[in-house]
Each structure stands twice: as structure tokens, then as C-alpha cells.
A and B are shown apart, each in its own frame.
Chain A
Amino acid sequence: MSEEREKVIPGEILETGEDWLPGEGTRREGKNIVASKFGLKEVQSRLVKIIPLSGVYIPRRGNLVIGVITDINFSGWNLDINAPYTSFLPLVECPRFFNKEDLAEYFDIGDMVVCKVKAVKRKGVDLSLKSIGLGKIDDGMIIYINSNKVPRVIGKEGSMIKIIKDATKCEIVVGQNGVVWIKGNKAEDEMLAKETILFITSKSFVSGLTDKVQEWLKEKLKEKK
């Protein structure tokens, strides 16, 4: 399925005709729908869009992201969420029991936090902690992957990430921004989870990837014994 998608380059004509609608990564030029980015061409009934293979993470409302605290002021924290936008987590977007005066007691500079994107405005991104499962990360390791490969790492309805979690017995949170948190009981388990994820990102546009990953993991686990 993925292999049938065509790689297209900026400026390339994707479709011609008034009926077509320009989706993300494309634009209309006269009669033509033209690519505005390097990526895979995807057609969904009358919509033509580009699935990017590369490029910075573009935050969207509702995304789960993992970020680093870079600054603290009186009303909240600034984070680096691996995107070219300033991101802010206001105190008001934190659970009710956050009422200390010294914000650094909750999150200090350099701490990693799992949060949600509440709003994306021209002047920056607003983050929120008001959801279950969000908060500071205390332990484990962080790896950075191409954010465009995140859907492949998670898999359809989480199928791929579940395979990795089961095989390595690690807790894993994949941020939409390409930041991944892994925590296992042993260093070897965490390293295997990391290796598996990197394996997936190097091969993401191959069909039958789920099976290939399962086989690969079986081999790796056998090697260890």
C-alpha cells in the first residue's frame, strides 16, 4: 500500500483539472494541483495532499508532546517541544493542586514533561497538563526521531508500539513531536526498545513492516539468551 505512493518533489504537477482539491502540502496553480513539499502523494477521493517524509514538527491541537523546560516565569513555563515555535505551559493549565509559589519546585529547567497541545496561535503554542497521564518524567531515556515517522512507530491503533512494549517490557510514550520516552527495568531492555524504534524509522515505507519488526525482535531476543 505504502509502496504504491509516489514520491513527489516541490513544483511537481500532481493532478490537473478543476475537480481536484488542494490538500496539505499542495497548492492550486491555474488548472494544476502542484506539490509544495517533498513527500508522498496521497489521493483521498477528490483531495490531493502530501505526506511529508521530512521537515520539522508542526504542532496541532490535541497532540501529545514531550518537551523540555527552558525557562520559568511567574505564570508558567516555557518549553522546547522540538518545533520552531515558542511554547508555553501556563500555571492555569495545570492540575488544581499546583499552587506553590515557587514554580521551579514542580518543573525546573531541564526537566522533561509530557503535555498536550491546547492551541496553536501565530505567536506560539499553548500547552496543557489537564489530562490523565500527563506530567513530569522522572526516569528512563529519551530518543529523538523524525516526527513524520511517528504514525509508523505507533502503528494502526497502537499495534506497532504494543509489539515493542511487549517484547521489551518497557513503558513507552511516543510524542507526536518525535520525542520518545522509554523506561524499562534493565538497560538492555531500554536499548532494545530504542534500537527497534530506530529500525522502524529507517524502514517506515515498506509494506508488511509489522511482521518484519516481529521477526526482527524475535531474532534479537534469541541473540541475548
Chain B
Amino acid sequence: MMISNLTKKRVHDYLLEGKRENRGLLDYREIEIETGISKNAEGSARVKVGNTQVVAGIKLDVTEPYTDHEDEGTLITTLELLPLSSPRFEAGPPKIEAIEMARIVDREIRESKFIDFKKLCIKKGEKVWGIFLDIFSINDDGNLLDAAGIAAVAALRDAKMPKYDEKEDRVKYGELTSKNMPLNKETPIILTFHKIGNKIFIDPGQEEEEASEGRISFGFLNGDINACQKGNDAPLELKELSEILDIADKKAKEMSEKIEKIIEKALKAREDKK
């Protein structure tokens, strides 16, 4: 049903008062992570942030490197907002919302140097590993971007390199080595800050996201910002930016430690199951 002006106004009023159901303006909902959720993927993860749910999968292939990075593997990130996850998503090729999210996730993974691309080189100038990182929304209750960021990291952590038959020049899908994806041991994280009036809040639910006037996302790794994207129309005052950066610094440390722990738990649970 169409969101009414009344609901938008109410959510707006609550947030302006600094009030929220069962949490503060700078609190995330409960985060759940499960890895290894799709066996044909070289790595995969399912992430729930409150009722928002996304899945991410890694597929690897052997390909030619780019001419200006002859000794590095490649990464292609896609994100689809599936119609099954919300009545507001239509069938068809990704629209700007999905494209923007995919590009922000990609930028953070790349700029944070989370993946050691040089270790993905098989034969310089000829053969490298190409990573396909595909993210899909399963249920949209707001903040898909941050959830997608967590899912991407968890799927990459879950990933193991498949066997590659050099003579026949083909990847033996289904036969994984015990070699992990070469990754930095720190966890990159994407945090999106929203504003309503002069109030800053994070991890909005669906209605809060619709009431939000402006947003700005930061990708962090170990205290450094690797990516930033301001979105939606509301302009930002410099002192607001200052305030957000202050919060972001602290929040990024807190959240990346938290998420790292949950990912470790998920990976261990998967090992124990075997």
C-alpha cells in the first residue's frame, strides 16, 4: 500500500525527537551471518540485518588480465534488487539503485585492498583468476547497501580457490583446494549515515529510509576511509559532515570488530558441520 504522508511525517517526527523502536539512532539491528549457503559457489554468505536479507556468492574463472595490470586478478561486482524481495522492485535489468550499490561495494573492496590481487596471478600477462562477486536482495527492510557490504566480505572470507587444470586450461568446478581467497586480515565495512532535519541516524528500516532526507556512505578499513558516496538530494552543511565523520570513525571500528566476530563464528560453524 502506498506510504502515506502521515506515516512519513510520523517517522520524521520520531527521528527528530531522537526516538526509535527498541534502539538508538546510532544502533544497528541484529546482524546474522551464515556462510557456505550455496554449494556451487566458491564462496557464499547470507546476511540478515533485522528483517533485511541479502545473499552474496563468489564464482571464479581463469581469464586474461587487463593490459595495465598484467600480474593482477580481476573483480567484477554485480548487485540485483530482486522483485521477490519487495513489491517496489520490478523485473528487468538493474536500475540505478542497484547499479549504484554495486559500484559502491566494488569501490570499497578495491580501494581498501581487501583482496590481494597480485596473489591471483597465474601467469603474468596471460592468465589470472577473475572473481565474480554477485549480490542479491532477498528481503528489503531498509539499508540494503550496508547489508550488501557485509555479505560481500563474508562471501569472500568463505571462498576457497578451485582446482585449475593448467594443461587443459580449465577450472575444475566442484573441486576446491584448501587454499583461501588471498585477503587482507582486516575487515572492510560500509556504513551509511542518514539525516532528517538535524538528526543523524544509521541502519534505517524501510519506512525510515523513505523518510530520510539525505544519505552519505563511507567505506572503512582499519580507520581509513577508502570510499565515500553522498546520495539523495538534501545538501549537507560542513558542520554536519564534521559531526558524521566523528561518529563514523568510532562506529566503523566498533562495527567492523563486531562483524568480524560474527563472520568468524559463521565460518567456524560451517567447518564444524563438515
Contacts and interface: CB of A to CB of B under 8 A. Distances in A.
A contacting B, Cβ–Cβ less than 8 Å: yes
Interface of A: 68, 70, 80, 82, 110-112, 137, 139-142, 144, 179, 187-188, 190-191, 194-195
Contacts of A141: 6-7, 10-11
Contact of A142 (B6, B17, B19, B21): B6
A111 B6 CA distance: 7
Interface of B is mostly: helix
Contacts of A190: 10
Contacts of B2: 68, 70, 80, 110
Given A70-B2, A112-B5, 8 more contacts: A68-B4, A111-B6, A140-B10, A141-B11, A187-B19, A188-B19, A191-B21, A194-B21
Interface residues of B, number: 13
A70 B6 CA distance: 14
B6 A112 contact: yes
Interface of A is mostly: mixed
A75 to B, nearest CB: 21
Contact of A82 (B1, B7, B17, B21): B1
Contacts of A195: 21
Contacts of B14: 187, 191
B13 interface: yes
Nearest to B18: A187
Contact of A179 (B1, B11, B17): B1
Contact of B5 (A82, A110, A188): A110
29 contacts: A68-B2, A68-B4, A70-B2, A80-B1, A82-B1, A110-B5, A111-B5, A111-B6, A112-B4, A137-B6, A139-B6, A140-B10, A141-B6, A141-B7, A141-B11, A142-B4, A142-B7, A142-B10, A144-B1, A179-B1, A187-B13, A187-B17, A187-B19, A188-B19, A191-B14, A191-B19, A191-B21, A194-B21, A195-B21
Nearest to B11: A141
